[in-house]
Structure 1
Amino acid sequence: MKKSDLIREFNVQIDMAVEAHEILRGESGNEVPGVRMIKDELEHATVTTIDIETEQGVQEMGRPKGSYITIDAPEIRENNYLVHQDITETLAKELVKLLNLKEDSSVLLVGLGNWNATPDALGPQVIEKSLVTRHLFQFSPDELKGKLRKVSAIAPGVLGITGIETAEIIRGIVEHVKPDWVIAIDALAAGSLDRIGTSIQLANTGISPGSGVGNKRVGINEETLGCKVLAIGLPTVVNAAIIAHNCLESFMDELKTSPSLFRLYKEFNPKSLENILSQALSPYSGNLMVAPKEIDTLIQSAARIIAGALGICLHPGISREEYQMYLQ
């Protein structure tokens, strides 16, 4: 079974544009029409930019026109401050390019997710580690001018906790605060185990909260909020159907390459793979999400990196020592 067939059959959500692009290009053997990809290899990260430029690209990729930047940094798993700092600076550079902020721009940070569920707590953890400054401008605007931008933040929770659509909460805040940008941080679902906790996606097209775990909510984008939206996402879970499919694919590859088992491979009915997957995943079908046991550590590391990159991008006029002073 092709991976695209698996995704369609089990309704598996692929949140990362780079993975959707890999699947489409890998199965067709051709470039995806209307989509441009640029890859940059750095010392501690690989930066891949996917630009969806035409309506055909929108149809092929299943997501809006715009730029999707993925920073793959496997060393996030390691407890190495210097490496994490380099990844933070790489992320900050990409944020600066996407946001193109003016000196007096204002930003609302939104930490999406459920702080009570570790795989979904990335957004709230980033907010907890971020420097908010909007209130400071009421007391000493002259001192802060040229050093800090007006930044406010909210972790609105999820529908099951608040009883309110997250987009409704954010829209109400936006109408009052009137930020130039909303930056929404959320956990994503990966299409590969390798990317859990180690790939950061930036998208200037907004975000659909809960889509990675099958809970589709009202979109948070320029159309719904009335201001520009940048989404920052990190994969924290992978659909069990993906893992099961990878195991069966490896098994089939073993049959294909083994002379003694090649006959069995030729006689194997592809439909049987679908039946095996359905039985293995029953009764959860395509709704079983899996996270590694060290997900709490991965999220803490990623939250520090994302919050640090936001600090560098949003407040370029202060040093690290000053940043810590204002944070306290």
Structure 2
Amino acid sequence: MFQVRTDLAIEAREIFEQKNKSDTKDVQIEKEEKENYYVTRVKILNESGERKLGKPVGTYITIDVPALKNADQDLKDEISQAVAKELRNIINPNKQTKSLIVGLGNWNITPDALGPKVIDKVYVTRHLFEAYNKTEDEDMTNVSAISPGVMGITGIETSETIKGIVEKINPDIVIAIDALASRKMERVSTTIQITDAGISPGSGIGNARKALNKEFLGVPVYAIGIPTVVDAATMINDTMELIIAELKNQADKGTSFYAMLEEMESQDKYQLIKEVLTPYMPNVVVTPKEIDELINNLSLIVANGINIALHHGIDLKDVNRYIN
């Protein structure tokens, strides 16, 4: 069956409800609204919910920040604290927690460089714990980090690299960061997803590799992702939605033209667009023109959130001291 491409559980739920005209009892939803952002927690409870949404069983936390593309320093700090809070709640780290942070993606391609950029800003401490033969510290926890690259650069499956590192250093948890794909233009670079269900590297551009999860690595895997691209069909589909909405506003209800507009399903439009584009622009993805600046800002927000969440002695007033 044709599936609109999205890495966000909140969008997978929206697509399911739109298609089936009903909610699913196999998925729990919790929403929290703040002044500058809102949080949606989607919990896929069982295999039935997994089949319906096409996502593994687990908790998916979405932080939507409409103004994130033009965020000032105060908003960046606020969202870093929000990321830290959600991470702490889902991971529940203690002073002896050993973490491996994995920055997935290709550092040579800006929309895919979120993971490597975050790794540049994460405060790593494992070497200090090893040097001083410590298991815990008053301010820091044991954190190591790696950006393994992509198979096109290294010739090695990312999952193989990470599994080898995990077997060698024995972390308690793995946190993976990756760029994602959204099915809505409005969520590109404005939405942060945190999950305890692991991640499939490369899924954002439809090139998914072997999943990084607890079953494969043997330790809990948490993932943080931000949509940085949409495919061309999604962009055209969203534009058509706006046009159709405007035409409906101008058309007289009860006319055949209005009825035709009313009956046009998003899934049908999307499928039609894909079929038309395929001979000319197959597998084209689109990213904002200011993506360089966006990735720099987003990577800082995510890295600060991780630093605050894992290092119990670090707060917002301290975190930027460790970032160039």
The alpha carbon displacement at 1:183 in A equals 0.2
State whether structure 2 residue 275 is matched by structure 1 residue 278. yes
Q: Deviations over 1:46-85 (max 9, x none)?
A: 0100001122111111111110000001222124111111
Q: Hey, what does 1:4 align to over in structure 2?
A: none
Q: 1:85-100 maps to which residues of 2 (within 5 A)? A: 85-100=77-92
State the number of aligned residues: 319
Could you say what secondary structure the match of 1:32 adopts? coil
The alpha carbon displacement at 1:216 in A equals 1.6
Could you say what secondary structure the match of 1:317 adopts? coil
Amino acid of the residue matched to residue 304 of structure 1? L
State whether structure 2 residue 138 is matched by structure 1 residue 138. no
Work out which of the residue numbers 233, 241, 249 in structure 2 matches 1:249. Answer: 241
Q: Hey, what does 2:288 align to over in structure 1?
A: 292
Q: 1:84-233 maps to which residues of 2 (within 5 A)? A: 84-140=76-132, 145-233=137-225
Work out which of the residue numbers 24, 31, 34 in structure 2 matches 1:32. Answer: 24
TM-score scaled by length of structure 2: 0.90
In the alignment, is the contact (CA less than 8 A) between 1:252 and 1:265 conserved in 2?
A: no
- Taking the aligned partners of 1:35 and 1:143, their CA distance within structure 2 comes to 39
In the alignment, is the contact (CA less than 8 A) between 1:281 and 1:288 conserved in 2?
A: no
Q: Hey, what does 1:72 align to over in structure 2?
A: 64
Q: Hey, what does 1:307 align to over in structure 2?
A: 303
The alpha carbon displacement at 1:32 in A equals 1.4
- Taking the aligned partners of 2:231 and 2:160, their CA distance within structure 1 comes to 28
- CA shift in 2, pair 1:174/1:216, >3 Å: same
In the alignment, is the contact (CA less than 8 A) between 1:14 and 1:212 conserved in 2?
A: yes
Q: Deviations over 1:104-146 (max 9, x none)?
A: 0100000000000000000000000110000011334569712
- CA shift in 2, pair 1:314/1:62, >3 Å: same
In the alignment, is the contact (CA less than 8 A) between 1:245 and 1:277 conserved in 2?
A: no
- Taking the aligned partners of 1:128 and 1:162, their CA distance within structure 2 comes to 19
State whether structure 2 residue 17 is matched by structure 1 residue 18. no
Amino acid of the residue matched to residue 127 of structure 1? I
The alpha carbon displacement at 1:231 in A equals 0.5
- CA shift in 2, pair 1:238/1:325, >3 Å: closer
Which runs of 5 or more residues in structure 2 are unaligned? Answer: none
Could you say what secondary structure the match of 1:156 adopts? coil
- CA shift in 2, pair 1:299/1:326, >3 Å: closer
Which runs of 5 or more residues in structure 1 are unaligned? Answer: 1-7
- CA shift in 2, pair 1:203/1:275, >3 Å: closer
In the alignment, is the contact (CA less than 8 A) between 1:241 and 1:281 conserved in 2?
A: no
Amino acid of the residue matched to residue 23 of structure 2? E
RMSD between aligned alpha carbons?
A: 2.5
- Taking the aligned partners of 2:74 and 2:318, their CA distance within structure 1 comes to 20
Could you say what secondary structure the match of 1:131 adopts? coil
- Taking the aligned partners of 2:18 and 2:4, their CA distance within structure 1 comes to 18
